């Protein structure tokens, strides 16, 4: 869905939309299923450019970092983004960023619309956790057979000793 920026000059836009974001638009190493997004936003003129603010509720399943199982995930985030013309972007000499600069999106000169899906993808990406665990004591996957160790009886492999201790096992006790 496109938001026409020319219409915002006449009156603010209030929008409620439900979108499904495919895994390919997100981080497939973390996201396991398409993400449902329920978004409420208001877009209005700002000085300079436009202001888009609102809230987004995200539902989907993420991938556990140890056992690769699916983990239900829900989050609700508020956002505020300033859309400005690329001519307002800082020059290459100006590298210092303030906290306010992080919520600015520079639009190509003459851009007349923005894609709502792009905005939603960015907000989901910012809300995703860095690492996901299905539970705190997740045992992960067996490195020998690949079975999920969280499932009782799935792995029948004998526990192998840590090879770093092998030199100590080779030492013989001396009798005095």
Query: What are the tens digits of pLDDT across the range 81-92?
Result: 887 776 666 566
- Average pLDDT, stretch 38-67? 91
**Dist CA 157 CA 147 (whole Å):** 10
- pLDDT at position 100 over 60: no
pLDDT tens-digit series, residues 107-137:
666 677 778 888 899 999 999 999 999 999 9
**Do 56 and 74 meet the contact criterion of CB atoms below 8 Å apart?**
no
Question: Which 8-state DSSP code applies to residue 146?
Answer: -
The answer, yes or no, to whether residue 20 has pLDDT greater than 80, is yes
- CA 136 to CA 170: how far, in whole Å? 36
- Count of CB atoms within 10 A of residue 128's CB? 17
How much is the CA Rg of the chain, to the nearest whole Å?
A: 25
Distance CA 87, CA 85 (A): 5
pLDDT at position 159 is 75
Res. 54: pLDDT tops 60: yes
């Amino acid at each position: 869905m496109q938001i026409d920026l020319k219409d915002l000059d006449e009156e603010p836009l209030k929008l409620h939309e439900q979108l499904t974001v495919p895994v390919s638009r997100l981080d497939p190493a973390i996201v396991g299923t398409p993400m449902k997004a329920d978004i409420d936003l208001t877009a209005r003129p700002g000085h300079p450019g436009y202001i888009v603010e609102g809230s987004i509720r995200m539902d989907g399943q993420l991938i556990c970092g140890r056992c690769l199982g699916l983990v239900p995930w829900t989050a609700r985030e508020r956002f505020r983004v300033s859309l400005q013309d690329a001519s307002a972007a800082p020059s290459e000499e100006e590298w210092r960023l303030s906290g306010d600069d992080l919520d600015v999106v520079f639009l190509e000169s003459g851009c007349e619309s923005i894609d709502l899906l792009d905005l939603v993808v960015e907000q989901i990406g910012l809300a995703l956790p860095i690492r996901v665990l299905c539970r705190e004591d997740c045992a992960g996957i067996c490195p020998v057979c690949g079975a999920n160790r969280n499932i009782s009886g799935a792995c029948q492999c004998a526990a192998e000793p840590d090879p770093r201790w092998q030199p100590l096992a080779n030492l013989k006790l001396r009798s005095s």
